[in-house]
Amino acid sequence: MDPKQFWRFEEDRTNPHRVDDPLQPTPEELVALQAQHQAYNTLVSHLNFHQAVTASNQEREAVGSTSDITQTYGEIVSCKQEFNSLAEVLLTMKNRYRAHFEGGVFYDLGSVGLT
Amino acid sequence: MAVALAQPFAVCRGIEILESLHQFAIELKEKYTVYASQQETRLPEVEFIKGSIFEVDWSDASVIFANSTCFGYEHIVQISQIPCKPGTFAISMTRPLLHSHWQVLESLNKPTSWGYAKIFIQRKLSPGQELE
């Protein structure tokens, strides 16, 4: 593929939902989301975000891939701040696009190669 | 793990090639396992796999998430072409997967630790729908 088309994508033009029309969680969903966020904060409270970044950088330096920035934003994810964003995306998938999560498998594709 | 707390998947898996980050994840899993055992509602299993996303088989995915803001063109192409079930959902950040294999359903602007990012919700096309 021509790299110039890298940014090209075609949204479903029959879809009335655009970037300025985000799904608003229901009051019940907001309550659940707050409880989930609280649980998440408790579980990650011991983690040192900067320590994780440092360890990651050191490992990449060790294999000589410091100049490879492709991993940078994939790792520098302070999930404490992004929990709500990800949770709301999942709600959008379920409520607007009939994504079915029960029994399903979720994959977080982490850092790309150390080349 | 965040997703495991948010939605009732059967299992949530993380694939990580860096040993240091993988170890952080393993530590986190221990805490999550204790927490999950104390809940009345069954929570998803959480698994962390040490390896490359281009070598680990994730063709059984219902939903994939790629924090792809700084992924290069080649990585996006590779990920887009990895076989998985038609109808699989994908979440990517800043850039979508290739439209030849994935249909963009919606894009959203959401706050992240480094500012607002465009997040794409996509769905895997069936073989007859894929473009050359």
* Intervals of chain B under pLDDT 50: none
Give the distance from residue B127's alpha carbon to the nearest chain A alpha carbon, in angstroms: 18
Residues B60-97 pLDDT 10s: 999 999 988 778 888 888 999 999 999 999 999 888 89
A103 backbone φψ class: left, alpha, beta (φ>0; ψ -120 to 50): left
B21 CA: distance to closest CA in chain A (Å): 7
**pTM of the complete model:** 0.85
R_g of chain B computed on alpha carbons: 16
Assign A80 to helix, strand or coil. Answer: helix
Count interface pairs A-B at CB distance under 8 A: 233
Interface of A with B in 42-81 (CB under 8 A): 42-44, 46-47, 52, 55-56, 58-60, 69-81
Read off the amino acid at residue A63. V
Put simply, the chain B residues between 53 and 82 with a CB less than 8 A from any chain A CB are 53-54, 58, 60-73, 75-77, 79
0.85 surpassed by complex ipTM: yes
Between the CA of residue B37 and those of A36, A37, A64, A106, what are the distances in Å?
Answer: 16, 18, 42, 20
**Interchain CB distance below 8 Å, B10 and A71:** no
Mean pLDDT of A41-55: 76
Kindly identify which residue of chain A lies nearest to residue B24, measuring between CA atoms: A52
Strand positions, DSSP E, A13-114 = 105-109
The pLDDT value given to residue A70: 42
| Residue A108 and residue B4 in contact, taking contact as beta carbons nearer than 8 Å | no
Question: How far off is chain B from A27, nearest CA to CA, in Å?
Answer: 15
Q: Give the chain B residue nearest A81 (alpha carbons).
A: B113
pLDDT, one tens digit per residue, over A58-107 is 777 776 654 444 444 444 344 556 788 899 999 999 999 999 999 999 99
